[in-house]
Amino acid sequence: MQSVIEASWAAFAQVLPETDALAGRVPQDVAARAKEKYLAVMQAVGTQEYASSEAVTSVNFARSFQGDLDIGLVVKKLETKVLGLDYKGTLPNGDVVMWAKLWDGEVDLQFASGKVGLGPAVPRYVDDTPTWQYVMRKVDGQWKIASEAQVFISEDTSPEYGPDTPHWVDTKPLVAVPSDASQPTSSPTAFTASPSAKATAD
């Protein structure tokens, strides 16, 4: 399941910098190819319903991060790492509910002038550690994402960059575990994952 979740985030991380590097002025054919690549991964890691949902299909790489142009930012690199998974129960239809604690990292170019491409620019590093709820479904013997929703939001609280640096995490969940999910029959270790598990955009 961890690899499936990481692949879904890596798909966005791999194509966004390609289009945003042009400061939002992306030719339609470039944006179309980026979206085609992104949707292909979503179809591989998600159920048909998930891959065709508005949350997935509404991504528009021709306009991604357009608002950042007004403050002189260009996205250069995105990274995602699953810090761990926490089993929350099983639904009557056999779907499994998991909470995934993530590390999201973003490397930007910040132009001092406030205008992209005008004057000198310095790297800007921001990251956070949100938690997302995933409903996973087994399809033809493979686990796929049936739905996703953010549970806890997070913000960067230090100039340091990396999953082990300080972050603020809200303690009020945005969503709850579905009421019809069975309780775990054991006490899984929360948020344990392979330290080497990482999805990055080069």
Q: Which residue has the tokens 């021709």?
A: 62
For residues 10 and 27, give the distance between their C-alpha atoms in angstroms, rounded to a whole number. Answer: 23
- Report d(CA 148, CA 51) in Å as an integer: 11
For residue 201, the model assigns a pLDDT of: 35
The predicted structure's pLDDT at residue 78: 85
Q: What are the 10-residue block averages of pLDDT along the chain, 202 residues in total? A: 88 68 61 85 94 86 52 80 94 95 91 81 93 96 95 95 95 94 62 37 34
Diameter of the chain measured on Cα atoms: 59
pLDDT (tens digit per residue) in 99-110: 999 999 998 888
Per the structure block, which two tokens stand in for 135? 């409903």
Selection from 129, 133, 135, 166 nearest residue 150 by Cα? 133
Determine the pLDDT at residue 14: 74
Helix axes 28-45, 2-20, angle to 10 degrees: 180
- State the pLDDT at residue 136: 96
For residues 68 and 76, give the distance between their C-alpha atoms in angstroms, rounded to a whole number: 13
CA distance 102 to 83: 5
pLDDT tens for residues 23-68? 455 667 777 888 888 899 999 999 999 999 998 888 766 544 444 5
In terms of Cβ atoms closer than 10 Å to its own Cβ (0-12, 13-18, 19+), residue 15 is buried
pLDDT at 108: 85
Q: What was the pLDDT predicted at 20?
A: 57
| pLDDT on residue 195 | 36
What is d(CA 43, CA 48) in angstroms, rounded to the nearest whole number? 7
